[in-house]
Chain A
């Protein structure tokens, strides 16, 4: 306990400094704030159908993801986020993160880097014990788009000036 608290205390001044440096990133507009942290890092491909869960019922759904970030399924209970999520079946090749994002409970699947192929997981939500089974297909991430080649530029020309010379002729006496 002591070691843990000491470690945590070390971060208090750092957190304070960071708070000064970072502008608030919350995106308002719903009953609950949506934080930009929860919107960044999404997988390039993340295809999930809309899911409607029911208390005490088991719902199966699918997810196709490119595995280079999180892929999330938003769910609600009576237009509200759930109280909490419980992992019933762990994925073999990734992890699951259930958290509050705005007015949704969002279930994120994060594939282990380099994973391709099928995976599956199941989450139970409380209160109400709605269950969601997700069959995942991990695809290879799309190839990175190469930056366009820079257009050739002409070498800058030096500014020229025109000189006028006047010649004098000598006259002999």
Chain B
């Protein structure tokens, strides 16, 4: 019965989601957005560490900012659990892989400039106070557009998705035609 009511509520908001989807690029909750931003920062630095042989810088970052990274990871995981229930883990894994892929693709476009151009981010992250890591991540253009709090409506890995409606419950879904 609860599931039925929830389903009706989701359908009821579906039209509104469709109308507002084009304007949405951030999570409904600022704390969710911050957590996604920090996760994207960790992913970006991980890609850089592998592609540009910056493992030592990456390890320093992880050690120094461990508390904030763990906290943000917990928030992102909680969002996936709230949104996908039992399918949360594979959805989360898919999201992490897609994010790294997108960030790696950016490197392709920059060619040989990629590593020297991106390397300063490690030095920048190193002077940011740990509690302000999310504010730093928010200005580094790390999340490909509409990846934060995006709800996958298709099969896992199908790439079909819709951004979460800003004002509504983040589990609102919209079936794409």
Contact = CB atoms under 8 A, between A and B. Distances in A.
Interface string B108-134: 111111101100100111011000100
Contacts of B117: 35, 37-38
A116 to B, nearest CB: 13
A54 B114 CA distance: 32
Contacts of B116: 26, 33
A11 B93 contact: no
A6 B50 CA distance: 10
Nearest to B98: A7
B112 A96 contact: no
A103 to B, nearest CB: 12
A83 B113 contact: no
Contacts of A126: 127-128
A124 to B, nearest CB: 8
A83 B50 CA distance: 24
Contact of B104 (A10, A83, A90): A10
Interface stretch (A12-20, A58-66, A137-145, A158-166): A12-20
Interface stretch (B7-15, B135-143, B167-175): B135-143
Contacts of A24: 112-113
Given A85-B136, A112-B25, A4 B141 contact: no
A3 B111 CA distance: 24
B29 interface: no
B111 A88 contact: no
A147 interface: no
B139 A96 contact: yes
Contact of B50 (A5, A14, A100): A5
A8 interface: yes
A62 to B, nearest CB: 19
B139 A14 contact: no
B108 A97 contact: no
A52 to B, nearest CB: 20
B107 interface: yes
Contacts of B132: 86
Contacts of A131: none
A97 B104 contact: no
Contacts of B111: 15, 18-19, 21-22, 25
A172 to B, nearest CB: 90
B51 A84 contact: no
A170 B99 CA distance: 96
A95 B141 contact: yes
A73 to B, nearest CB: 13
Nearest to A105: B124
Nearest to A4: B100
Q: Tell which of A1, A3, A4, A26 has the most Cβ of chain B within 10 Å.
A: A4
16 contacts: A4-B96, A7-B104, A11-B108, A15-B111, A19-B112, A21-B111, A22-B113, A85-B136, A86-B135, A86-B139, A87-B139, A88-B135, A96-B138, A98-B139, A98-B140, A127-B127
7 interchain residue pairs of minimum CB distance: A22-B111, A11-B104, A86-B135, A87-B138, A7-B100, A98-B139, A84-B124
